[in-house]
Chain A
Amino acid sequence: MRLDLRVGIDVGGTNTDAVVLDENNRILARTKQATTSDVRSGMQNALTYVIDALGTEAQRIGRVMLGTTHATNAILERRSLGRVAAIRLGAPASLSLEPMESWPDDLRDAVCVDTCILEGGHYVDGRRISPLDEDGLRNFLSSVAKTADAIAITSIFSPTSPQDEERARQIVSEVLGNNMAVTLSHEIGSVGLLERENATILNAALFGVIGQVISATQDVIAGAGLVVEMLLAQNDGTLMALDFARRFPILTIGSGPANSLRGAAFLTGLTNSIVVDVGGTSTDFGVLINGYPRESAAAVEIGGVRTNFRMPDLLSIAIGGGTIVSGTAAQPVVGPLSVGHRLTSDALISGGATPTLTDALVAEGRLQLGNHAVPQIELERLQSALHSATESIADAIDQITLGNALLPLIAVGGGSLLIPHDIAGVSHVLHPENGDIANAIGAAIAWVSGHWEGVVAHGDEFNEAITNGRAIACRRAIEAGADPQIVEVVDQTETPLSYLNSPTVRLVIKAAGPLRHL
């Protein structure tokens, strides 16, 4: 039996989509199911649907790629989060604000075991702030031994001087054993202490969630009688192996939009363009550069907490297919509320009483949907609401393109017809077939990546170290399933470190390649 089929699943806020592709990337089955509050049954529904649609061919499924909002939801709903002991190294600096002090109370209550600020850390130029307080660290770790699920360690200026975090990790394993989960801040974010620390703590709080996602998905897969490899989508548009995902669960946050962008690239063959993903409640604009999402350096707020880890650069507006229209014909009010799931019961075209933008599209003749006509009396208001929504979309396009009107626009997502063909600010508009499941397709066609990072001194061994690092990153991508013939280094970031003696850089290398045949 050839295992030449793969399933892409995208669990979004409103819908869970699944698609099955063969090795020539032909779509063999697809579905769009409602996301359920337990997430798992929605995923099960979607997977069961496509497996049934394939019939006996389902035995050819060799891989399942999952993009999911589990991690985001866990933070937003303060559910299933692990208990974290947060350690900051850098005293006497930074004592004025404790770790998690600025967090919303309920999130801190859900996550925080205890915090401490110990001596350690570095100045911007690599000088020590103070010697690492190893005794203090051991004492603190002993005090949380029974209560903490994970440890988050953040040292001042660790993005350029990571050694105290590395040493602290050794001490954690000495005191609490090798099984205690640890997150180091320099592996998560950049300069900006509180934002990096917040992202580090959230990552540590998500170890349990990602474990549950992985085992639940494996159960669903096993329940369907399949034996497959599983990969998780991350927010740079590539797939990660399960062991990497278990270390960096926060990287699943933002994987949905990244998948949409990659799916849009695949469906159109375009590598540089604007992508708009129109959902039920909101619309995300992103930019594809050489086939991958443009990334943002700005701080991102998650669940009321400011963070600074890598994310796709997105512009979101509160307009979607389910957006509720109110106000008058002269002054329509468009959103921000949406009927969401209830489009099929509450919208005018479904016989409901709530006018939505989908009703406006049907009334304009741009979409055929529903079994009820839009009442005559609503037509004028819906028309002007659609006009106003189009203006907001054009404004957003202007902002995300930075005024460069030469790029094409790819419209995907369930509500993509909200984007007219003649919208201003782009060279032309594409509505690719199957664009409504672009995110699941993006997960299914994604390349798999592997990483290597390390600190390398300039000098004779610099090039050799880089060559080694690149080889390790490629090997890890291959171990995760990449085709050894095609895998290549796709990103190499050098951050100069501030050591006083010899010039040194922190090197992060990412290799990626398409999945090899099973």
Chain B
Amino acid sequence: MKNHIRIFLLFGALTLSYTLSGQNMAAMRINEVQSVNTDGFIDDYGCRSGWIELFNTSYGTVDIGGCFLTDDPNDLTKYMIPKGDALTKIPPRQHVLFYADNLPDRGTFHISFDIPNAKQILFVSNNGRTVIDEITLPEGGIPANKSYGRIMDGEGSGEPTHFLQKSIRVAQKEKAAGENHGWAILDKVTPSTNNLTLDGDSKSTTMGKTDPYGVIMAIVAMSVVFVALILLYLVFKKIGNKAIIKSHIKEAASKGDIADAASVRGKESTSAEVFAAIAMALHLYREDNEAHDIENTILTIHKESKSYSPWSSKIYTLRETPQVRRNK
């Protein structure tokens, strides 16, 4: 039985470690694509080309070195993102832009194909087989100098959610229906920046506007504090009651009084110290001369301090000093 549990735990740990190792890269999403760029974004060589934007949806840095970008589902390893480039480590919630100019000699972010006629863009894991994200471009292509992207960064088809099952189900359903949910031809072309800019106030400012006197905060927060601690109270009241009953049954059973053991259920608790005191009082009462108010002896624990003990002596744990023989 123990072996079964060990095997189960080992298997669980292995599965978990596999999931965790794959989690980082799986957080990357294709976020925005521009196929034809004649008057828009200029790359670091002063040229214009189509581009693919990736977005790190996670709250940790993701290294995409060794992953692949392609526009051909039959050739998943068309362009490998070089390894060892510090810039391929994408910070949390940040974007990275790849220029689809078919000029890979120009650096890490210039890929080996262009995309004016592409039907699909795929981002593939560093094993060259697992498709992390894919997007089917609109039929008839993306209008020139416009971009096709997620309305909310990182969200939409294949979006990562906290509920993996739901995400897979939704993604599969959308895939079966041939939909790119959450994607659109964007009003503004936004390479390397958020597709949707949230011009909202901070939480603190919003709270200041909605609750200028702090009354709502006090009511809500105190309610939450009370709910949390009331729950804890209820749970431990229940647990405590059970523990009391159990200890009474155990105690009664140890005395061999089964009837008593059955009758203790529901009775109030009395601490062990009280029982001990009563027992001692009865004992002393039976021993005639022992009933008194002032004790003539004191039972206590005297701690013996030993300054030296061979058990802690380092001398016994050392090796003997080797003898040196000198030739005369």
* Chains A and B come from one and the same complex: no
- Interface set of B (CB-CB < 8 Å, partner A): none
- Interface set of A (CB-CB < 8 Å, partner B): none
